[in-house]
Structure 1
Amino acid sequence: MTTTARRPRTARRAALAVLATATALGATALTAPAAGAAEPKGMGQSAPKFELKDGTLEWGVKESFRKYVASPIAGGKIETADGARQAGGNGAFTFGEGTGTYDVATHAVSTTFKGSVRFTGHGGELDLKFSDLKLKADDGKHGSITADVTTGGKSQDDVAIASLDLSAVKPGRGADGAMTFAKIPVKLTAAGAQAFAYKGRPMYQEGTELDTATLSVKAAPASSGSGSQDQGTQTDTGKGKDAGTQTDTGKSEDKGADKSTQTDAGKGTQTDAGKDAGKGQDPKPQPGGDKAAASGQILDGNLDWGVKETFRKYITGPIAGGKAELSAGAVKSGDGYRFTKAGGDYDAAKATVNATFAGALRFTGHGGELDLTFSNFKVKAAGTTGTLSADVTTKSGVSKDLPLADLKLPADALKAKDGVVTLSGVQAALTAQGEKAFTYNNKPMYPAGTALDPVTLAVAVDKNAKLPANGATSGGTTGTGATGGTTGGSGSVTGGTGSGTGTLANTGASTPTGALLGGAGALLLAGGAATYVARRRTGRMAA
C-alpha cells in the first residue's frame, strides 16, 4: 500500500514540473525529464519519442551564393520543387511538411522536410541540387542539416552539409502553438564544402558561415489508445499553416547582415579622431607636429582599400580562376591593398581634403574575358561626405577620374591631429558610375548603392608629421577566409563573414540539455508529457 500510494504523487510531481517548465519561455534547459521529478530513472526507461508535425525549415543556404548564381557572371537560375519555395527578391527557401520525433530522455530531435532546390549556372557546368533535407540535434546544443546532394548528375544521400550551434538559441511560440527556433547559426562542413565545387575545386572552405536557419515545429497530439501514442500523428502533415510566416525572416537577416558589416566597421575610431582633432587649432602651421595643422599641401599619405571582399574572393576562386596584380607602388595591406605617395591639398578652415594616391590594381579572370584595372586613386571629402574615384580601364576602354564610391564620414573627421588627417573604416557605397566599372559580358555585377569595403586613409599635412606605422587594413567584413592576393588562389566565391575555422562555439555547459529543446521542449511537449504521465498514473492506480 505504501508503494502504491507514492506512485501517484510521483507522477503528479513529474507532470507539474513539466507544465511549470512549459510556462517559462526564457528557460534554457529542460531537465530530464522534468525538474524535481522523483522518478527520472523510471521516466527515462520508458520515455517516449513524441511525434512532431507541420514543421518548416527556412534556410537560404548562402545569400552570396544565391546572388552569384543569378548574376550575369554565372548566368544561372534557382529552381525549387516538391513543395519548397523561395521568397521574393532571390530570398531564402522554405521547406515544409516537416515530420519527426523528439526524445524526452535525450532531448534529441530529428525532423525531415519536403522540397528541393537546384542551382545551375555557367551553361550547365555548375549544377547543384539539395533535396530531402533533415535537421538533427543530438543533445540540444549541436546539430546538423543533412540533404541528398546531386552534382553533375551524381547523387549522394544524407550528406551532412552544415553544422548547427543551438547553444544560444532561445525558442519562441507562435499563435498557433508552433515552436520556433530563429536564426540558428550555421557553418559549412567538410562534406558540404565538397558539395559546393566547381570544376573539381571547392568554392567555400569548411567552417564558412552560411545563412542562419529557422526551425518551426508542432507536437502531434497523443492518441487515446493504450500503447499507440505514436499512431495517427501524420494526418495533419502538409497543411502548411506556418510556411508563409517564415519568408520575411530571411529577408531581414540578409539585410541586417549587410548593414551591420558596413556600419560597424567605421564607427568609433573615426569619432574619437574627430574629438581629439579640434583642440587648440592654430591657423599657422607650427613645426614639431602641433595638434592641428593649417591649410596647405598634402605631403605624403596612404590609402587602404580592399575594393570589395566578395569580388576579391570571386576573382581568385575556382570559377573566375583569376588573380589580382599590384603595380606602380601599390602593395598588399592586410586583406586589401595600399596605395601610397599621397599628394593634393587640405583646407582646415573648410574641412576639405583633396588627395591623390599612386599605385595600380588589376583584376583578371575567366581566361582574360574579365580585365579591370584601377589606378590614380583620388579622395575628395568635405564635411561628412566624400567620393573615391580612379582611372578605370576595362576591355571597353579607359574612364578617367571615374567616381567609384560615395563616402560617409563622421562629424569632424577631417580635422588634423599632430599634422595628420586620418579616416578609418569609412563606409563606402558603389556609385552609379562605378556600377559600369564592374561589368562582365556587358552586364553590371553589382547595382549602385552596393556596400564596398570601407576606406581608410592617413595623409600628412605638416612636414614634421609622422604617418601611422601600420595603417588599418581595409579587408572589408569580418571574414577571414581565403583572400585575394597578388597570385591566384582558392579563395571562396563571394564569401561572406565565415571564419574558415569550422569550430563550433564552446558553451561550457556541464548539463546534457541545451537551448534547442530546453524551454521550447517544455512549451512544445507539455501537453504530450502530461498525457504520458497521466497515462502512467492511471495504469499504476489500476494495477
Structure 2
Amino acid sequence: MPVRPRRSFALAAAVATAAALGATALATTTASAAEVPLSGYELTWGIKQSYRTYVSTYAQGTFTATDGAAQAANNGVFTFTDGTGTYDTTSHALHLTFKGTLTAKSTLHGFVREMSDFQYDSAAGTLTADLVSDGGTKQQDVTLAKVAAPTSQDLKDLGTTLTAAAGTFLGSDSYANAAGDPLSALKPASTTSPSPTPSTTPTQSPTPSATPTQSATPSATSSSSPSASPSDTVSEPATKGDIADGRLTWGVKESFRSYVVGSVAKGKITTSGGATQAAGNGVFTFTGATGSYDTDADTLTAAFDGAVNFKGHEDNGTYGLDLTFTDLKATLDGGTGKLTADVTSLGEKSEDVVLADLKAASTEVTAKDDVITLDDVTTTLTAAGAKAFGGFYQSGAELDPLDLSVALTADATLPTDGASSTTGTGSSGTSGGTGGTDNSGTTGSTSGGVTGSTTGDVSGALASTGSEVPVAALGTAAAVTAAAGAGVVFAMRRRRTQA
C-alpha cells in the first residue's frame, strides 16, 4: 500500500500496535516496515439521526443489520465489526475495513437501501461503502461522508459531513453537505491484545538486542496503558452551576422558510438581536445563552438572545403574514423537554409559548472540556405551537432538528460549525431549501416552498379546495392548507386597506 500524505493526526495506534504486535515486528528493515497490520476494530456511526427517524416513522420502515453489523436500542446508531487494516508509522495514516451490512427498507415508500464494506481512511478523511439501491447494480467504494481529523489521541466522536452522493443514495438532496452523526473507530477494551506476538518470536528476531531501543520510537511517551492518555486531557467541570455562554441552531421548519420567500408569499426573513441566518435561506443561530445545568440530575435550562421575523403577502405596505419568534428557551430533563419562545403575530405578543416538545438522543446531560453539546434534538410541534403557526401545521408535526452548545465557564471554547455562518435576511425570490422537506429524507420537492397551485391572486381561498381556514394567531388573515407529500402549503388572504 503506498504511503499516504501526512496529516495532522495524533493517533494512539502507534502506542497500541507497539505493545500488541511486539517490538520485533517494528524493527523490520524491509520496504513494508512502515505499515503495521491492525485488527479487532469497531466502527460506530448513525448516518444521521433525522434520517433514522424518517425511515422508522414517516416511511414506516425498518433497519436490518447483518453480517457483523448491529444497531443500538431505540433506533440508535450502527456498529460494524472486525475492522482490519494498516497503520503507517511514517505518515501516521490509518486505513480500516469493517464487516457488516445495513439495509433500510420502507413499506410505505417502497425503497430498499443497502450499505456494506464500510472503509475509513484517515489520510483522505473519508468514509466509503458499497451501495445498492432498490436491488440495482452495486456501487463500490462510494464516499458517504467526509470525516474530520482527530484532535486527540483516539478516534472517537469525529465530525462527519454527508456528501452529495450520500444525499442521492438516501433519497434527498437536503442531506448533501449536511452534518452527519459523529463517527468512532475504536478497539474494544476487551480485545486490546487480540493476538500479540511478544518478544518470543524466534523467526523474526535476528537482532533481538536492537529491538528495545528501536521499539521506543513509535511510543516515545510510552505507557503500558495508552487508552489512559485521552482521559488525562479532559477537564472535569462542576456538576452544576450557571451557563456562561452558548448558542442554539434551529431552522424552525424548512418548508415554512421556503414558503415565506417563495413565489406565493413573496416575503422576507429577518434576524436581529444576536441571531443570524445561514446562507441560502438556511437555519437560524441564536446566541448569548444564559441559564443553569446539573449533570448529576441530567437537567439543562438555557435561554438565548436573538429574534427571527417572517413577513409575507405584502399589500400596499401591509403584511398578511408577520410572525416573530424571540427569547427562545430550551429546557431538558432526562433527555426530554420543551422549546418555548415569545411569539408576536401581526403586532400581538404571547409570551413563553411552548412551541415544541424536545427529545435528545441521550437521557444524559454530560460535559466535555466545560461544554455541553446536544445535536439533532428532535422537535415536535405542540398544540400551542400549531396555533402560533395559525393552524398551518398540525400538532405532532416534526419541525427541524435543533442543536445547542453551552459553555460552563467563561474560557470554554464552543464548537464551531457552518450553521451560524450567515446572512441577515432571506428575501423574496430566494430559492429556499434544497429540494427535500424538513430534512427528514422525503424525496419530494418543495419548489420554493409551494406544492400544488393557486388560481389568480392569493386574496381568495385556494381554488383546489374551495375552503377557508380562520387563523386566529395571524390576525384577520385567512389561510388554506393542503397536504402534498411531507410539505404543507398555505395561501393567506391579503389584508385590504380601508377605503
- TM-score bracket for this pair, using the shorter chain length: 0.3 to 0.5
Larger radius of gyration: 1
Structure with greater helix percent: 1
Compute the TM-score of the two structures, normalised by the length of structure 2: 0.40
